[in-house]
Amino acid sequence: MRNIKYVIVTPARNEESHIEKTLKSMVSQTILPGKWVIVSDGSTDGTDEIVQRYTSKYKWIEFVRMPHHSDRQFAAKVYAFNAGYKKIKETSYDIIGNLDADISFGKDYFEFLLSKFNENPKLGVAGTPFVEESFKGYDFRFANIEHVSGACQLFRRECFEDIGGYIPVRGGGIDWIAVTTARMKGWQTRTFVEKKCMHHRKIGTGNSNPLIAKFKYGIKGYYLGGHPLWEMLRALYQMKHKPYIIGGLFFFMGYALAFLRGIERPVSNELLRFYRHEQMVRLRRILCNLNRLGRSAKQISQTNTKKFDL
C-alpha cells in the first residue's frame, strides 16, 4: 500500500467516561497518524487530565484547550474542530479525519480505511458503521451506504478543501452537509461495512423520550431539505419499529410542523435540489427492486401451482 499520511482532529467535551477507550484504540493502530489534535471544548470533568497523560507519552498527540462555555448548540463542534484544524495546516498529509471522543475500534481500523483511499482516487469521504450495546447498526439494504457517520469521517485532503470544511450550523446536520456536499462536488463517499466502530455514548441520551426524538427527526428531515414524498414514506417505514405506529406519526408531525412554520434551512438551493434528486433516484431503485421481487414471487407461485395441477 502506498504510504498515505493522515491526521486526526477530535473535539471533546466532558468525555471522561469514554475518551480513554478512544485513546487506547488510537495508540494501538497498525498505522499511526502524523498528528492527532484533541480539542477540549471547555470540558469541566476529568477529560483534560486523561488526554494530557497521553500527550506526555505520545508526541504525535497534541492537546488544545478551549474556554468553558454553556452553549450546547451543534456549531460548537465545528468551532472546536477548526481550532484543531489550525494546528495541522502546516503538516504534510493526504487524509484528514474527524473522530469522536466516545468510540473504540480494532487495531487495523485506520489501515483498512486508508487502503480504500489508495484503491480509489475518486473516494472523497470514507467511514464505517457504528454499533452500540443496544443498537447493532443500520440495515444497509435500506440505509444509504453513501452516507458516512459523523462518529468517524475521513476526508481526502482535496475533497475537504473543495467543500470548504465543516459548516457551523446551530441546528445540526453538520456531518451530513459535509458528506452530501462532497457528492454534489463529484466525489465518491462510502460507508464500508466490513469494519465497525463501537459507539459508547448512546445516541439520543440527551433526550430520553423516544416520541420527542422521532418528532425532532421529522423536523430535521425538513430542515435538511428532504423531499415531502420521501419523508412521508420514511414516516410510514418507521411505523413498523418501536414505538409502533405512533413513532412514525410523531416523525411526520415534526416534518409537517416545520413545513407549516417555514423553518429556515441551512442548505443552499443547489444542495437541496441535489439531495432531493438523490432521494428520488433511490426511491425509483427501491420500487424497481420491489417490483422485481414481486414478479419473482408470482412466477414461483405459478410454477408451484402447475406442479400441483400435474
The predicted model gives 200-205 an average pLDDT of 67
108 contacts 196 by C-beta, under 8 angstroms: no
Angle at 150 (CA atoms; ends 152, 51), nearest 5 degrees: 55
Distance CA 110, CA 123 (A): 15
pLDDT value at residue 70: 63
pLDDT value at residue 114: 98
Going 253 to 258 to 262 to 267, the CA torsion angle's sign is: negative
Distance CA 199, CA 135 (A): 9
Distance CA 199, CA 151 (A): 8
Helices (H), the chain: 19-27, 47-55, 75-88, 109-119, 157-162, 174-184, 210-223, 228-238, 246-261, 269-309
pLDDT value at residue 298: 64
Distance CA 284, CA 292 (A): 12
The predicted model gives 242-251 an average pLDDT of 93
pTM over 0.85? The answer is yes
- High-pLDDT (> 70) share of the chain, %: 88
Question: Considering the chain, what is the average pLDDT of its residues?
Answer: 90
pLDDT value at residue 204: 53
228 contacts 276 by C-beta, under 8 angstroms: no
What pLDDT digit, counting tens, does each position of 97-110 carry? 999 999 999 999 99
Instruction: Sketch out the chain's domains with CATH numbers.
Output: 6-199 (3.90.550.10), 207-310 (no CATH)
Distance CA 110, CA 133 (A): 22
Q: Which of 126-135, 179-188, 230-239, 271-280 is least confident?
A: 126-135
pLDDT value at residue 170: 84
Distance of CA 89 to the CA centre of its chain: 24
User: Is the model's pLDDT at 3 over the cut of 90?
Assistant: no
Q: Which of 174, 101, 104, 110 is nearest to 133 (CA)?
A: 104
Residue recorded with cell 459535509:
178
Going 118 to 119 to 121 to 122, the CA torsion angle's sign is: negative
pLDDT value at residue 272: 97
pLDDT value at residue 206: 47
User: Is the model's pLDDT at 308 over the cut of 50?
Assistant: no
- High-pLDDT (> 90) share of the chain, %: 76
> pLDDT category, 241, cuts 50, 70, 90?
confident
Comparison of pLDDT for 52 and 298, the residue scoring more: 52
User: Is the model's pLDDT at 300 over the cut of 70?
Assistant: no
258 contacts 223 by C-beta, under 8 angstroms: yes
What pLDDT digit, counting tens, does each position of 66-81 carry? 987 766 668 899 999 9
